[in-house]
Amino acid sequence: MRTYGESELLEAASAFHGHLGPYLVLGLKAGELANKIMGKDPFKMRAEVFCPPKPPHSCILDGVQFSTGCTMGKGNIAMHPSEGVKVIFAKKGRSLEISPKKVIVEQISSLKRGAIEDMSRKIYGDSVEEIFDYDLKPSETHKTNETVHSAGRGPKVSR
């Protein structure tokens, strides 16, 4: 399977998406962060994307699909219409919640048309700490399974 180098990824994703925009880049960066923390796996990872259901915000979906391989076709990405923007990745009993920082969202919403591509490239070069708040934790499903499992053991559990 072909993987892209860092500079190629932005160009390839823009070609896939149709233009270079800030929410595409936020999706790419969020996906790259999830790959780094949880390990890239286009089959075992799942992405839940919360965003207003139209561009520019929904462009984040394509960035996430492109970087993680969680795709509509495989059914391991879903969009949940919401006012704010966040992505929750799940893999192997862990979940990673990523949301763009308020200051970044505000910068994007006040962008002039001609500055969109420059801003997108700038965001792509920013460190994840500058643009995201993120939190890795055991996933809800995992917790539920554990509860069911230990409850099922009944008397064998010493308390």
Please report, as ranges, the residues that interact with Zn ion according to CB under 5 A. Answer: 21, 59
Check whether the bond before 56 is cis (ω within 30° of 0): yes
Nearest to 24 by CA among 35, 12, 14: 14
Pick 20 or 96: Cβ nearer Zn ion: 20
Q: Which helix (H) or strand (E) holds 137?
A: strand 132-138
Which phi and psi angles does 79 have, rounded to 5°? -105, 135
> Is there a contact between 134 and 96 (Cβ–Cβ < 8 Å)?
yes
> Is there a contact between 63 and 16 (Cβ–Cβ < 8 Å)?
no
Which residue number is nearest to Zn ion in terms of Cβ? 59
Pick 66 or 134: Cβ nearer Zn ion: 66
* Nearest distance, CB of residue 99 and Zn ion, angstroms: 19
Pick 62 or 97: Cβ nearer Zn ion: 62
* Nearest distance, CB of residue 55 and Zn ion, angstroms: 5
* Nearest distance, CB of residue 14 and Zn ion, angstroms: 9
* Nearest distance, CB of residue 18 and Zn ion, angstroms: 7
> Is there a contact between 134 and 95 (Cβ–Cβ < 8 Å)?
no
DSSP state of 41: -
* Nearest distance, CB of residue 22 and Zn ion, angstroms: 9
Number of H helices and number of E strands within the chain? 7, 5
Sign of the C-alpha dihedral computed for residues 7, 4, 137 and 140 taken in this order:
positive
Pick 27 or 38: Cβ nearer Zn ion: 27
Pick 22 or 69: Cβ nearer Zn ion: 22
